[in-house]
């Protein structure tokens, strides 16, 4: 079953080097402070980028998980802004306040059921139709490396500009508030009062539609739903996302709060399936990353509580928003 992860956050000036890469990559629903948008762009693209204003080069070219990068933009955008270094230096110059919002950051889990070229086509279509068609410039990257279950972990990073480029090739005087889902406070309050979906909900639904269309075109039965388990009527608690940092710590035998929490949730979900005879639990009810845990739980369900208690004593501190 495809992973529904689709996280949206803002990136603003004012942070340190660490926050500009790791936290800006995986944070969600918040404003993330960065020392330079060039650092965030280099981290995602694996391309060395020079901050012309500070004369500093950010170089993450040693990472081995970058599979694809591109800049997508409206047709009227000047060709020079299709260069990553030129684009983000232009943003750094235009957004000149000490706390300016520099970009919007999105991380999207791509379906492992699709091949790389298929995921590239899916991502480009979604970004073009959802963001570029509205006037945004998008810097996209696809990362992939082995997941904790031995499979792949394809995901996309998208950096979006927050100020429109006019037909004359110059930056607009004001940021486009329509891209935030409203133009005025009154408009936002009216939409909320009417129970209308937020712009992030609309983006997520657009991703659901695009991904399911590509899965169907590839003759793959799996489908994704961006609704919560509760909204789908599924009696199961979702687990937390495991990033590369958690995987590395677990491989070294270091327990983490993320996996401790997930083990507890998997056990809880297992018990629900065993008790509810009308909806017996089956291996297919689990996400691919949970298959091994499901098998283990079936064999050792009576020992889980004891094992968890022992492992809890060895738990390492792990900040959920600081996964690499």
Domain count, the chain: 2
The answer to whether position 223 is within a domain reads no
* Of the ranges 83-87, 151-155, 168-172, 280-284, the best mean pLDDT one: 83-87
Nearest 5°: phi and psi at 154?
-70, 135
The Cα–Cα gap between 193 and 213 comes to 32
Q: Is 143 a residue whose pLDDT tops 80?
A: yes
Give me the pLDDT at residue 17, please: 44
The answer to whether position 225 is within a domain reads no
Residues 165 and 206 in one domain: yes
DSSP-derived 3-state class of residue 18: helix
Out of 188, 217, 246, a domain closes at 217
User: What pLDDT band is residue 240 in, cutting at 50, 70 and 90?
Assistant: low
The Cα–Cα gap between 77 and 84 comes to 13
Q: What is the pTM of this model?
A: 0.67
Alpha helices in the chain (DSSP H): 17-18, 24-26, 37-45, 84-94, 116-130, 185-193, 199-217, 229-232, 244-251, 257-275, 291-300, 304-312
The answer to whether position 228 is within a domain reads no
Give me the pLDDT at residue 24, please: 39
The structure tokens listed for 55 are: 């004369």
Cα within 13 Å of Cα(293), Cβ side: 22
175 vs 142 pLDDT, higher one: 142
DSSP at 180 = G
The Cα–Cα gap between 120 and 123 comes to 5
User: What pLDDT band is residue 312 in, cutting at 50, 70 and 90?
Assistant: very low
């Amino acid at each position: 079953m495809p992973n529904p992860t689709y996280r949206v956050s803002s990136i603003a000036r004012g942070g340190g080097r660490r926050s500009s890469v790791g936290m800006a990559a995986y944070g969600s629903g918040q404003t993330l402070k960065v020392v330079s948008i060039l650092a965030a762009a280099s981290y995602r693209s694996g391309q060395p980028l020079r901050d012309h204003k500070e004369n500093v080069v950010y170089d993450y070219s040693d990472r081995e998980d970058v599979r694809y990068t591109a800049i997508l933009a409206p047709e009227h955008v000047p060709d020079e802004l299709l260069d990553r270094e030129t684009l983000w230096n232009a943003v750094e110059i235009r957004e000149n306040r000490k706390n300016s919002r520099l970009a919007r950051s999105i991380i999207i889990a791509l379906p492992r059921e699709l091949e790389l070229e298929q995921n590239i086509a899916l991502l480009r279509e979604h970004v073009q139709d959802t963001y570029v068609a509205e006037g945004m410039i998008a810097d996209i990257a696809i990362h992939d490396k082995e997941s904790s279950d031995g499979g792949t972990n394809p995901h996309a990073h998208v950096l979006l500009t927050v100020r429109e480029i006019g037909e004359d090739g110059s930056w607009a005087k004001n940021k486009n508030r329509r891209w935030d889902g409203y133009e005025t406070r009154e408009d936002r309050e009216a939409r909320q009062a009417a129970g209308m979906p937020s712009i992030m909900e609309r983006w997520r639904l657009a991703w659901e539609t695009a991904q399911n269309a590509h899965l169907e075109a590839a003759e793959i039965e799996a489908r994704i739903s961006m609704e919560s388990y509760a909204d789908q009527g599924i009696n199961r608690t979702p687990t937390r996302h495991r990033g590369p940092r958690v995987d590395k710590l677990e491989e070294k035998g270091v327990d983490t709060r993320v996996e401790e929490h997930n083990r507890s949730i998997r056990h809880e979900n297992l018990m629900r399936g065993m008790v509810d005879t009308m909806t017996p639990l089956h291996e297919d009810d689990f996400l691919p990353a949970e298959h091994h845990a499901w098998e283990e739980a079936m064999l050792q369900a009576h020992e889980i509580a004891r094992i968890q208690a022992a492992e809890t004593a060895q738990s390492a501190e792990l900040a959920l928003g600081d996964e690499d």
